[in-house]
Chains A and B, each alone.
Chain A
C-alpha cells in the first residue's frame, strides 16, 4: 500500500520519535510511506477552542496534501487528529468552505486512520514483530476510545508484543484531563483529573504508560515527571517498532 503519513504538528515538532517509529513500523510491514512535505496541522486545536474560520486554510491544506488518489490511506499516530479529520473537517467545510473544499474533505475523510485501527482493521495484523521486555500499562485516550471507537485494537497489538508484561490500568477509560486548551483554561480541574490518573498508573507499577496520542502523553508524562514518578510515557508506536534486533532502550530521564 502507498501510505500518506501525517506527522501531526505536535508529533512533527515536539514528539518526532513517535512519528519516526510509525514510519519505520509501516515500512517494515512492507508499505511505501510517503510524507507530503507541505503538510502542517489538522486544525483540531482551533476547532475545539471554538474557532472555525481560522482553520479553513489548514483543512484545505490537509485535503490537498493527502487528496492525491495514489495515496491509498492516510495514517497518523494520533486518535484525536484522526477524529478531527473524520468529524470536524466536514463541519468547518460545510460552514465556511466552498464546494471544492467540501468534496476534498469528503474524499480524504474516508481513507484516514489512526495507527492502531489501520494496523488491525485495514492491514489485518496484530503481530507486528515487536519486542519490549518491560511492564507496560495502556491508557486509552478519549478520542480513540469514544470518537474513533478503536476499542480493543491497541490492546490486541500490545498483547502480541514479545516479552511484554502488560498490566491493566484501573479506571482506564476516565479522561486524563488534557482536553487541549482545557488544561490551560481550567488548569485546576484538569490537574485534579490528572492526579487521579497518575494515582491509578502508580498502582500498576509499570515502567511505561503508553497511549496512541502524543498530546495526552505529553500531559500525563508532564505530570509524572513533576512528581518524579518511576513510570514514564511512551507512544504506542514506539513499543510496536521496538524489535529484538533494535530494541527500544528505556531510559529514565527523557520524558
Chain B
C-alpha cells in the first residue's frame, strides 16, 4: 500500500462500544423459542402488559395537551443531544460548585472501578442500591461482589430479581415475569429469618420485604443510585420512583454515588415540567409518581455529606455519532414501548439478552454495544425482532420513531454483512422485478406453480427458510391468472367496460 498523503481527511476514530450486560448469548429467535414455551411467563406478561396499557391510555387520553407535551419532550431531547458536550460540562461545573465530585467513565469497566474505589474509601463492605438501569447495564453488582462488597437492591422488584439470582425482564417492572406465588417462594427461600407462614397476599409480601430492607437502610453507610434526570443549569439530580425506598437510599447514607448515563442530562430546571408529566403517565399510568427526589450537590447537615456523580458513556458517544440512530438516546426509559409491543408481550424481556429489552432495546442495544455482522453477533438479530407494527412509536412520550430506526439498523446490518444468501436472493428478486418482461414471465411460472398446491389448492409444507411459516399457515397456490393477464384478456376488458357502463346507466337514471 502506498503511504502517499492524498489530502483526504481521515475519518475520526470511532468512539468505542459499551461493555457489560448488553449482549445475550444467543440470537433472538433461539431465545424466544424457549421463552414462548414458558406458559407461566406468557400469562404473567399478557396480564401485566394489558393492565398497564389500559391505565396508560386513561391518563394520557385525559390530558388535552398530551400531544404538545410529547412534541416538547422530543424537542428538548433533540436539542440536548445536539449540544451534549457543552451541557455535560455545565453539569459537571454546577455539581462541583455545590460540593459534589464528578467522575467520567468511558465504559462499564471504568465505571465499575470508580464506584468500587469510592466504596472502598469509605471502609464499608455493603451498599444499598436504588433502581438503576445504568448499573445493571455495566454489571456493577457482580463487580462489587467480586471485590468483596455486598450490594442490596432496595426497589421491591429489583430485590425479587436479586434474591432469585435472576435477571430483570422489564425496564420498570423488572420482575414482571414473576407472579405472587413465585415471589412467595423466592422470599421463603432467600430472606433470612422470614416468617415461614408467609402467604401470597401482596401486602404481606411487601411487609416481608420491608422488614428485611429497613434494617439495611438503617445500617448501611453507602448508597449507589441511578438518575432519571440531571439538570445542567443547576447541577440537580432527580430520581422518580413509587415506593419510597429510593428516597431512603438517597437521604439516609453518608455517601451517595450516582451513576448516570450521559444522555440523561436536561438543559434547564424548567424542563422537568415536561418530563415529570410525560414519565409517570407513560410508565406506570399514574398522573404523578409517589416519590420524586431531587438533590443538588451536598447540603451541610442534611442528607449524604459525600456525593459523587459518575457520568457513564459506555457506547453512548458511538450512538450519538449516528445521524439517524442517535434518536434512540432521547429515550427516558418509561417502558411504554415495551408494554404495547406485541413481540415483547409474547417473547418477554430475557429473549433480548440485554439490560434494555423491547422495542427500544432492539435499537439501543446494538447501538451501544455494536452488532458485529460478520461474527454472527446475537445483537445483529435484535433489529429483526419486530413486525414493524408501529405501536411503540405511537406510545413513546418523546416520539422516537422506533420502526424507522429498526429499518435503519437492518440496513446497516445488511451493508456490513458482505454477501449472504439472503442478499443474493434480494438482488435476484429486484433483478426480476425491475424488468417488467421478466416479472411477467415469473408470474407465468408462478401460475404453473399451482401444481405445488394440494387438491384443495393449499400449500402446507415449504422448504427452509420458509418452514417456520408453513408450520402454522397454509399458503394458497398461485391463481390461474395474474391480474395483468386478466386485464389484458377479453374477459377483463368486458368486465371493465361493464363497470363503466353501469356508472353511465346510473347517471342517466339520476338525471331522469
Q: Tell me, in angstroms, the Cα distance from A141 to B357 when the chains sit together.
A: 25
Verify if B503 is at the interface (C-beta below 8 Å from A).
Answer: yes
Interface residues of B in 406-432 (CB under 8 A from A): 407, 410-414, 422-423, 426-427, 429-430
Q: Tell me, in angstroms, the Cα distance from A194 to B470 when the chains sit together.
A: 13
Interface pair A12/B483, CB less than 8 Å apart: yes
Interface pair A27/B500, CB less than 8 Å apart: yes
In the complex, the chain B residue whose C-beta lies closest to that of A33 is: B496
Interface residues of A in 30-57 (CB under 8 A from B): 30, 33, 35, 37-41, 43, 45-52, 54-55, 57
Interface residues of B in 457-507 (CB under 8 A from A): 457-458, 460, 465-469, 471-476, 478-479, 481-484, 486-487, 492, 495-496, 499-500, 502-503, 507
- Residue of B347, B429, B456, B503 contacting most chain A CB atoms (<10 Å): B429
Which residues on A sit within 8 Å (CB–CB) of B466?
184
Which residues on B sit within 8 Å (CB–CB) of A47?
407, 411
Interface pair A23/B487, CB less than 8 Å apart: yes
Which residues on A sit within 8 Å (CB–CB) of B385?
186, 189
Verify if B446 is at the interface (C-beta below 8 Å from A).
Answer: yes
Verify if B370 is at the interface (C-beta below 8 Å from A).
Answer: no
Interface pair B411/A142, CB less than 8 Å apart: no
Produce 1/0 per residue, B371-404, CB < 8 A to A.
0000000000001111111110110000000001
> Size band of the A side of the interface?
35 or more
Interface pair B484/A179, CB less than 8 Å apart: no
Interface pair B503/A27, CB less than 8 Å apart: yes
Verify if A159 is at the interface (C-beta below 8 Å from B).
Answer: no
Interface pair B436/A51, CB less than 8 Å apart: no
> Size band of the B side of the interface?
35 or more
- Residue of A39, A45, A189, A222 contacting most chain B CB atoms (<10 Å): A189
Interface pair A192/B36, CB less than 8 Å apart: yes
In the complex, the chain B residue whose C-beta lies closest to that of A7 is: B483
Q: Tell me, in angstroms, the Cα distance from A143 to B466 when the chains sit together.
A: 23
Q: Shortest Cβ distance from B410 into chain A, in angstroms?
A: 3
Verify if B29 is at the interface (C-beta below 8 Å from A).
Answer: yes
Q: Tell me, in angstroms, the Cα distance from A222 to B449 when the chains sit together.
A: 18
Interface pair B456/A218, CB less than 8 Å apart: no
Among B433, B468, B476, contact of A188 (Cβ-Cβ < 8 Å) = B468
Q: Which of A14-22, A103-111, A202-210 contacts B (4 or more CB under 8 A)?
A: A14-22
- Across the A-B interface, how many residue pairs have beta carbons closer than 8 Å? 215
Interface pair A51/B414, CB less than 8 Å apart: yes
Interface pair A194/B499, CB less than 8 Å apart: no
Verify if B295 is at the interface (C-beta below 8 Å from A).
Answer: no
Q: Tell me, in angstroms, the Cα distance from A28 to B500 when the chains sit together.
A: 5
Among A25, A88, A146, A189, contact of B390 (Cβ-Cβ < 8 Å) = A146
Verify if B343 is at the interface (C-beta below 8 Å from A).
Answer: yes
Interface pair B426/A226, CB less than 8 Å apart: no
Q: Tell me, in angstroms, the Cα distance from A188 to B348 when the chains sit together.
A: 13
Interface pair B474/A191, CB less than 8 Å apart: no
Q: Tell me, in angstroms, the Cα distance from A40 to B435 when the chains sit together.
A: 8
CB-CB under 8 A for A12 and B423, given A40-B436, A182-B388, A188-B32:
no
Verify if A255 is at the interface (C-beta below 8 Å from B).
Answer: yes
Q: Which of A67-75, A117-125, A130-138, A170-178 contacts B (4 or more CB under 8 A)?
A: A170-178
In the complex, the chain B residue whose C-beta lies closest to that of A193 is: B342
Verify if A164 is at the interface (C-beta below 8 Å from B).
Answer: no
Interface pair A54/B427, CB less than 8 Å apart: yes
Interface pair B484/A12, CB less than 8 Å apart: yes
Interface pair A254/B407, CB less than 8 Å apart: no
Q: Tell me, in angstroms, the Cα distance from A193 to B468 when the chains sit together.
A: 14
Which residues on A sit within 8 Å (CB–CB) of B388?
48, 142, 179-180, 182
CB-CB under 8 A for A179 and B503, given A16-B481, A188-B29, A189-B32:
no
Q: Tell me, in angstroms, the Cα distance from A237 to B9 when the chains sit together.
A: 56
Q: Tell me, in angstroms, the Cα distance from A8 to B410 when the chains sit together.
A: 23
Among B343, B476, B482, contact of A189 (Cβ-Cβ < 8 Å) = B343
Verify if A11 is at the interface (C-beta below 8 Å from B).
Answer: yes
Interface pair A61/B434, CB less than 8 Å apart: yes
Which residues on B sit within 8 Å (CB–CB) of A146?
389-391, 393-394
Q: Tell me, in angstroms, the Cα distance from A30 to B484 when the chains sit together.
A: 21
Which residues on A sit within 8 Å (CB–CB) of B404?
87
Among B457, B473, B495, contact of A254 (Cβ-Cβ < 8 Å) = B457
Among A38, A50, A175, contact of B391 (Cβ-Cβ < 8 Å) = A175
Interface residues of A in 189-227 (CB under 8 A from B): 189-195, 218-219, 221-223, 225-226
Verify if A29 is at the interface (C-beta below 8 Å from B).
Answer: yes
Q: Tell me, in angstroms, the Cα distance from A183 to B29 when the chains sit together.
A: 11
Interface pair A189/B36, CB less than 8 Å apart: yes
Which residues on B sit within 8 Å (CB–CB) of A166?
none
Interface pair A147/B390, CB less than 8 Å apart: yes
Q: Tell me, in angstroms, the Cα distance from A147 to B391 when the chains sit together.
A: 10
In the complex, the chain A residue whose C-beta lies closest to that of B500 is: A27
In the complex, the chain B residue whose C-beta lies closest to that of A219 is: B473
Q: Tell me, in angstroms, the Cα distance from A37 to B342 when the chains sit together.
A: 39
Which residues on A sit within 8 Å (CB–CB) of B468?
183-184, 187-188, 190-191
CB-CB under 8 A for A218 and B433, given A27-B499, A143-B390:
no
Q: Shortest Cβ distance from B277 into chain A, in angstroms?
A: 24
CB-CB under 8 A for A186 and B476, given A11-B483, A13-B443, A16-B483:
no
Verify if B28 is at the interface (C-beta below 8 Å from A).
Answer: yes
Verify if B129 is at the interface (C-beta below 8 Å from A).
Answer: no
Which residues on A sit within 8 Å (CB–CB) of B474?
222, 225-226, 255
Verify if A24 is at the interface (C-beta below 8 Å from B).
Answer: yes
Closest 4 CB pairs of A and B: A187-B468, A179-B387, A50-B410, A222-B473
Known: A12-B484, A14-B476, A193-B387. 7 other contacts (CB 8 A): A25-B499, A35-B487, A184-B466, A187-B469, A188-B32, A221-B476, A225-B458
Q: What residues of chain B have their CB less than 8 Å away from a CB belonging to chain A?
A: 28-29, 32-33, 36, 42, 342-343, 346-347, 383-391, 393-394, 404, 407, 410-414, 422-423, 426-427, 429-430, 433-434, 436, 439, 443, 446, 456-458, 460, 465-469, 471-476, 478-479, 481-484, 486-487, 492, 495-496, 499-500, 502-503, 507
- 8 A-B residue pairs with CB within 8 Å: A47-B411, A50-B383, A51-B426, A54-B429, A175-B389, A189-B29, A195-B472, A254-B457
